[in-house]
Structure 1
Amino acid sequence: MLRWALIFLFISLVAAVFGFGGITVVAVHLAQVLFYIFLACFAVMLVAGLLVG
């Protein structure tokens, strides 16, 4: 999931360089959403690992 967030971030940077504003906004929002989902999953797995282990 973190890989997808980085891919969308890269797409937004490339689109911003070439002046595609609409694509940039969508790609940035997708990257942010995927990054926060990744962080939430990481936190849940970290807590679960500490409780079980």
Structure 2
Amino acid sequence: MIALGVILLILGLLLGVGLLTTVGGVLVVVGAVLWILGSTGRAVGGRKHYF
């Protein structure tokens, strides 16, 4: 999720498309939050790891 977010963020910035930039930023933030919660051992949505 983080990788897809970074790709969309870069494409949005290069192409000047605001929607891609916004979606990419949201995916990066959500992916980072899930990664941090998963690495601390806290189960999120019934799953311990999101990758």
TM-score relative to the length of structure 2: 0.67
What are structure 2's unaligned runs of at least 5 residues? 43-51
User: Which of the pair is proportionally richer in helix?
Assistant: 1
Q: Which residue of 1 aligns with 2:31?
A: 34
Identity of aligned residues (%): 14
TM-score relative to the length of structure 1: 0.65
The one of the two structures with greater contact order (alpha-carbon pairs below 8 A, sep at least 6) is 1
After the TM superposition, which parts of structure 1 deviate over 4 Å for at least 4 consecutive aligned residues? none
* Cα root mean square deviation, aligned: 1.5
Structure exhibiting the larger radius of gyration computed from Cα positions: 1
Q: Aligned pairs, how many?
A: 42
